[in-house]
Amino acid sequence: MARLTIPAQELMYRGHAACPGCGPALAMRLLLKGFGPRTIVSIPACCWTVIATPYPTTALAVPLLDTPIESTGASISGLRAAADALGLDDLTIVGVAGDGGTADIGLQSLSGMLERRTNAIYVMYDNEGYMNTGVQRSGATPKGAWTTTTPVQGRSRGKPESKKAIMEIVLAHRPAYAATLNPAFPEDFVRKAEKARDHAGARFLHVYAPCPPGWKFDSAETVALGRLATDSGVFPLYEVEEGAYRITRKLGELKSVEPYLRAQGRFRHFTPAEVEEFAQDVRSGWERLLRLEAETAPLPPPAKTAASTA
């Protein structure tokens, strides 16, 4: 019989206000399973502001603090400082922010929090755009994707620029732990959340978070799309500890990106040439990741001699 590795305890209530098939809602449920009940969550303006339901209700079984969009890094720094000052030693301090609130407007406070080695977890749930405001492009929107501010019209072919490499920005700060997580792989997801919880120092989790209305796909397909994202190399799963990369899901061959792109209305306008260009970018990203894993691998333990095994 398979061993269940995902905690049964639910710290997110039913009756939340997310859209059907919401990736960020799935992500929060799994994050809290990994972090546990002694967690405090800080959220900026983002989809989760709304998902958590209006006053006087809440969708979380743990305390939740709201902040403006750009200050999550500072907020968890303040919570950590207060917890230390008040002797609340067992708390897990977590910021959960969207990609715009992290990679765009919140980049400064994220950088400050990482640079100070703040003993807290920063989670960026990446739905690849400003979805709460009605699907505008963010720095994390992939190249070519349609959004309301990168229309497919006339000479405009969606977002002209590439997706911002938030993990590389984060890793330049040498965090204690950083990982990519995808709710379509819940065991891997919760294991990484637990691992983040059990590390000290600054930790960062980049969470893939599909948005059915923003990406224009069937809300029943969130998990299927998530599996395609990782297995095609669009969103590889890996973790970085002490500078060492480890890919946590590795298939022999990447699957084609085409089914992933074709499942989403935001890429519907892609010509075969544009699909190929997208696939090239994914392949080179994956190859780079493989090289990083090889280059940063910890040295193997010394070979055992006949004498020591005897």
Partner 1 sequence: MTREVMSGNYAQSYAAKLARVQVISAYPITPQTSIVERLAEFVASGELPAQFVKVESEHSAMQVVVSASALGARTYTATSSQGLLLMHELLHWAAGMRSPVVMGVVNRAVAPPWNIGADHTDTMAQRDTGWLQFSPESNQEVLDTVLMAYRLAEDPRVRLPVMVNEDAFFLSHTVEPVDVPSQEVVDRYLPPRDARAILRPGVASRLGSFTGPEHYVEFRHELARATENVPKVLPEVEEEYERLTGRRYGGALPLYRTEDADAVLVTMGTASTTARSVVDTLRAQGQKVGLARLRMFRPFPEEEVRQLAAHVDRIGVVDRSYVFGPVGPAASELRSAIYSTPHRPEVRGFYAGLGGRDVTPGHVRHMFEELLRTTGPAALWEDLAAMGVVSDG
Nearer to partner 1, 54 or 301 (CB): 54
The answer to whether 261 and 275 have CB atoms below 8 angstroms apart is: yes
Q: Does 211 bind partner 1 (CB under 8 A)?
A: no
Among the listed ranges 46-54, 130-138, 217-225, 244-252, the one in contact with partner 1 (CB under 8 A) is 46-54
Instruction: List the one residue from 70, 126, 231, 239 that touches partner 1 (CB under 8 A).
Output: 70
Among the listed ranges 66-74, 212-220, 229-237, 242-250, the one in contact with partner 1 (CB under 8 A) is 66-74
Count of CB atoms within 10 A of residue 108's CB? 12
The answer to whether 207 and 181 have CB atoms below 8 angstroms apart is: yes
Q: Does 263 bind partner 1 (CB under 8 A)?
A: no
Instruction: List the one residue from 85, 294, 303, 306 that touches partner 1 (CB under 8 A).
Output: 85
Among the listed ranges 23-31, 82-90, 190-198, 278-286, the one in contact with partner 1 (CB under 8 A) is 82-90
Size of the site for partner 1 (CB under 8 A): 43
Q: Does 102 bind partner 1 (CB under 8 A)?
A: no
Instruction: List the one residue from 64, 223, 247, 275 that touches partner 1 (CB under 8 A).
Output: 64
DSSP 62-91: S-EEE--TT-HHHHHHHHHHHHHHHT-TT-
Nearer to partner 1, 62 or 207 (CB): 62
Q: Is the dihedral of CA 101, 186, 288, 259 positive or negative?
A: negative
Instruction: List the one residue from 5, 82, 161, 200 that touches partner 1 (CB under 8 A).
Output: 82
The answer to whether 279 and 254 have CB atoms below 8 angstroms apart is: no
Q: Does 60 bind partner 1 (CB under 8 A)?
A: yes
Instruction: List the one residue from 9, 108, 156, 284 that touches partner 1 (CB under 8 A).
Output: 108
Q: Does 19 bind partner 1 (CB under 8 A)?
A: no
C-alpha atoms less than 13 angstroms from C-alpha of 95 in its C-beta half-sphere: 35
Shortest distance, CB of residue 204 to partner 1, whole angstroms? 17
Name residues contacting partner 1, limited to 109-138 (CB under 8 A). 109, 111-112, 115-116
**Rounded-to-integer distance, Cα 142 and Cα 161, Å:** 8
Count of CB atoms within 10 A of residue 27's CB? 26
Reduce the DSSP state of residue 198 to 3 states and report it.
helix
Instruction: List the one residue from 78, 201, 265, 285 that touches partner 1 (CB under 8 A).
Output: 78
Across 144-164, b (16+ Cβ under 10 Å) vs e yields: bbbbeebebeeeebbbeeebb
Report how far apart, in Å, the C-alpha atoms of 99 and of each of 115, 123, 126, 247 are. 19, 10, 5, 22
Q: Is 290 exposed, middle or buried (0-12, 13-18, 19+ CB in 10 A)?
A: middle
Nearer to partner 1, 83 or 225 (CB): 83
DSSP symbol at 136: B
Question: Which residues of the chain form contacts with partner 1 (CB under 8 A)?
Answer: 37-38, 40, 42, 49-50, 52, 54-56, 58, 60-68, 70-71, 73-79, 81-86, 88, 91, 108-109, 111-112, 115-116
